[in-house]
A and B are shown apart, each in its own frame.
Chain A
Amino acid sequence: MTALAADNLQVDCGKSTLLHALSLNFDATESVAIIGPNGAGKSTLLKALAGTIAPTGGQVRLGRRNLAELPSEERAQSIGFLPQHFEPHWDLSVAELLEIGAARARSLSADALEKSMAAFELGGLERRRWSTLSGGERARVLLAMVLVVDPPVLLADEPTASLDIRHRLDLLRALADRGRKRLSVVVVHDLDLAFSFFDRVVLLARGELIADEPAARLLDDPRLDDAFGVRFERLRTGEGWHLRGCR
């Protein structure tokens, strides 16, 4: 069943076109990695899917409905959006941030906040302020805020800065694991992790859809090398794949 779809989605910014009439379908349960070189339009696609920017042409459908016509409260409940950079303007505590996240749900079970705190290992951090949290803790708090209302769709832009390798692995694994029960679409900057963790990989370049395949199939596809302008050496490792680019 299609949970989220882009139909001929076009996004322009001034005179340049960021996305060229792109069409994609996402199932209600799958984990999808979006990859591509810089300027491919990955973040633009994600924002348009989340409804935080308006497309200049085409539409995004959530279930059967046009996202642009959906009341914004309903959109906020159905789609969780994890931005690449997040820095609250006020130095809120973890509990306060979760409260703000939870407030967008029309109704929420009484223990939703506690469950979310437990799921993201935030026990004991309730009263800590944002400025005192480590990068890994911040990532978990952000994820908890976005997922506290348990939206059927999660759209995440992988945070590249301020996370060390262990926390990046943890975060990406959590995002990919969510695809077992819900839809999880993640912009992934690290190709190894995209191919190791996700079911399906969407490859973009210059605002166009280059390939959309199961991860195992796209891995050997020469279009991958073309899109990134390198020749990849594909190395099998214990955990998954390692792609080494050579000129």
Chain B
Amino acid sequence: MKVWLGLGAMLLLAMIVAACAGHEWASPADLLRAIEGDQALRSRLLFDWRLPRVIAAAFVGALLGLGGTIYQGVFRNPLAEPYLLGSAGGAALGATVALLVPLALPQSWLLPLLAFAGAWGATMLVIGISRVAGAVDAAGLLLAGVAVAAILGALRSFLMLALSDETVSLQVVLSWVLGGVQTPTWAGIAVLVLITLACVALSLALARKLDVLGLGETMAVAFGLDVHRFVMLAVLAGSVIVAAAVAFGGLVAFVGLASPHVARWLVGPLHRPLLPASALVGAIVVVLADAIARAALPPAEIPLGLVTAVAGGPFFVLLLARRLRT
């Protein structure tokens, strides 16, 4: 119980700090005024731009935390992460197409849609390849995933080189690929909340079977789990969750890998508590990283994915080293 209160309080605190941070810093009093409906320009800007972005960052982080936990659970490998099975590569390719190829739909729709389609398609491709190769197990999926991710990355680079011109600059694509939470409208936030809640429910439904799978394949079968079917199902669920995170937050490195580890140290490896804890940890990390991305080098904004990798990497190594020493 203490852990949950602590995590909740930390998230709240992180969100307040993040809402204050920006290339112009606000005080908590400014925030309160903005929330109460003050019509001054500064308050309007805070309410319409900064607050939605902070909230979106929290949800993107939560989705990454959930996705990472599912992937690590399925592959029973603490190094597995959401981007391993090509879903990130697929999403990035979809987004690149949306940004560079002139299509009839408005881009605000097209980008999340194509990112989602890309993530889903890449995962199906990986599963298909491992099935054709007759290696539908964790190792086979991982190998197929690495290969597909490489191919998709090359395709994306080619598209970026071939299609960018004066009208669509490479920078737009790059900043998305490197990760960055889009600022949604308040209606968009409602959609994001619904999607996140659905993803939480979906992952909790997998929790018990992820625990059984963690006993090893032999025991899992003996305990009545249809291992192959469940692995497929869980991988698909994981990709749906990652696709949602990518559609709203671009490619944010590292959070999906690190959050489950931190959460495991806090609540243990059983998946029912682990999944929500990992979501909370992911939310805290992305909210803070997004604040740094906005506030560190004003007026420029650093891509979020770079912040999470540069700040998260050493932090994670430190935690791991301390953990190993005790």
Contact = CB atoms under 8 A, between A and B. Distances in A.
Interface string A56-83: 0000000000000000111111011101
Given A52-B218, A88-B216, A72 B226 contact: yes
Interface in B264-306: 264, 268-270
Interface in B201-245: 208, 211-212, 214-216, 218-219, 221-226
Interface residues of B, number: 19
A81 B212 CA distance: 14
Contacts of B216: 83, 86-89
Contacts, number: 64
B219 A104 contact: no
A72 B227 CA distance: 11
Contact of B223 (A87, A96, A104): A104
Contacts of A104: 212, 223-224
A92 B268 contact: yes
Contacts of A91: 269
Contacts of B270: 92, 96, 99
B268 A93 contact: yes
Given A89-B76, A90-B269, A93-B268, A76 B223 contact: yes
Q: Taking chain B's interface residues, is the majority helix, strand, or loop, or is none over half, making it mixed? A: loop
A101 interface: yes
A50 interface: yes
B268 A100 contact: no
Contact of A100 (B212, B221, B226): B212
Interface residues of A, number: 28
A166 B219 CA distance: 26
Nearest to A81: B222
A42 to B, nearest CB: 15
Given A86-B219, A93-B268, 17 more contacts: A50-B222, A52-B218, A52-B221, A72-B225, A76-B224, A81-B222, A83-B222, A86-B216, A88-B215, A88-B216, A89-B215, A89-B216, A90-B269, A92-B268, A92-B269, A100-B215, A103-B212
